[in-house]
């Protein structure tokens, strides 16, 4: 909105706190809405910084949640996302399609088209999507497709169908985002290694951080990245992985730092706002930003993580 008296949404201010789900939907009992009072981070991201993993939910009254969804979240609008971006000191977003919307990407596309070029997206598509629909997604700013192997969130899709999708999107220059849990990596290793595009792994492959960072489980993930230079990782979601908990998420630091140090040109970072399906606590988004200098410990590493890498992958800037 423009004008001297225009309402400006600010995290923690009037209109910020979640009001549940709109339209014909009711937010799940026990759902944790996003933080109503996120702190202002101490760490100042470098100019051009990108929040490279975040979501929009609905609003349900405008963009209905999928019939096949495994959860009904609170609404989390694009206006909230833009306000959080500015408040945390970022300049751009990468919006990842959430499973509560299935393969209906309209909420993401709407956000991309109204972002003034400051957001790109990752979609969920089915094998029978038309070429015209793929072109429409690309024109809106979609640059990747997401495959989810977390069984509590989605039904499993055969690898053959996923390979068909990859063949369809590869000519557009898209990459593949894959979400799985560490115990599933041995069974997925061959499939992931076979993909011809850039592959971005969500949340470091969800390691069990109670195990050694130098142990065989995380070692397999390191091997996957070392042997396949097309594979990237998001060093995201300490709140999902930590056993020690907030505010420091101390047990996650060695895992994320190891990836940033070993593969500084193939890592991404994002808030994961509005943090779907958390059960124990809702993270402070400002605190998550202050986690960054603990895993990317120099200005050079911070710039690669937050600026250079996402701009190269999503905006084709070198």
Smallest CA-to-CA distance from 238 within 302, 285, 183 is with 285
Structural contact between residues 122 and 109, judged by C-beta atoms closer than 8 angstroms: no
pLDDT at res. 3: 44
Does 14 reside within a domain? no
Which of 272, 290, 300, 308 is flagged as catalytic?
Answer: 272
Q: At what angle do helices 285-295 and 78-88 cross, to 10 degrees?
A: 50
Q: What whole-number distance in Å separates Cα of residue 93 and Cα of residue 96?
A: 9
pLDDT at res. 151: 67
Structural contact between residues 43 and 85, judged by C-beta atoms closer than 8 angstroms: no
Does 238 reside within a domain? yes
Does 6 reside within a domain? no
Does 186 reside within a domain? yes
**Containing domain of residue 99, as a range?**
50-314
pLDDT at res. 318: 52
Does 83 reside within a domain? yes
Q: Is 272 one of the catalytic residues? A: yes
Integer-rounded Cα Rg, in Å, for the chain is 18
Does 42 reside within a domain? no
pLDDT digits (tens, 9 = 90+) for 203-224: 999 999 999 999 999 999 999 9
Low-confidence ranges of the chain (pLDDT < 50): 1-5
Does 11 reside within a domain? no
Residues 6+ apart with CB under 8 A from 216: none
Does 60 reside within a domain? yes
The number of distinct structural domains making up the chain is: 1
The enclosing domain of 309 has a CATH number of 3.20.20.140
Smallest CA-to-CA distance from 147 within 169, 112, 183, 123 is with 123
């Amino acid at each position: 909105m423009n004008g001297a008296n225009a309402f400006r949404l600010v995290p923690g201010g009037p209109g910020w706190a979640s009001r549940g789900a709109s339209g014909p939907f009711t937010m799940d009992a026990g759902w944790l809405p996003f933080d109503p009072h996120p702190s202002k981070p101490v760490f100042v991201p470098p100019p051009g910084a990108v929040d490279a993993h975040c979501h929009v939910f609905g609003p349900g009254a405008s963009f209905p949640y999928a019939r096949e969804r495994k959860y009904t979240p609170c609404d989390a609008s694009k206006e909230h996302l833009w306000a959080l971006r500015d408040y945390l000191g970022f300049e751009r977003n990468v919006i990842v399609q959430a499973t509560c919307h299935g393969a209906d990407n309209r909420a993401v596309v709407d956000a991309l088209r109204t972002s003034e070029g400051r957001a790109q997206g990752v979609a969920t598509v089915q094998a029978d999507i038309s070429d015209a629909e793929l072109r429409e997604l690309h024109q809106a700013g979609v640059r990747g497709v997401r495959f989810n192997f977390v069984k509590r969130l989605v039904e499993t899709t055969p690898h053959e169908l996923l390979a068909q999708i990859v063949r369809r999107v590869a000519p557009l220059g898209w990459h593949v985002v894959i979400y799985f849990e560490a115990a599933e990596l041995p069974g997925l290793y061959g499939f992931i290694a076979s993909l011809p595009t850039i592959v971005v792994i969500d949340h470091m492959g969800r390691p069990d951080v109670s195990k050694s960072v130098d142990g065989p489980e995380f070692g397999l993930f390191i091997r996957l990245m070392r042997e396949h230079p097309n594979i990237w990782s998001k060093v995201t979601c300490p709140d999902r992985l930590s056993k020690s908990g907030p505010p420091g998420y101390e047990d996650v630091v060695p895992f994320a730092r190891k990836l940033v140090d070993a593969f500084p040109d193939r890592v991404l970072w994002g808030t994961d706002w509005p943090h779907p399906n958390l059960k124990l606590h809702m993270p402070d988004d400002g605190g998550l930003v202050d986690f960054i200098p603990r895993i990317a410990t120099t200005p050079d590493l911070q710039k690669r993580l937050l600026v250079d890498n996402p701009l190269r992958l999503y905006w084709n800037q070198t």
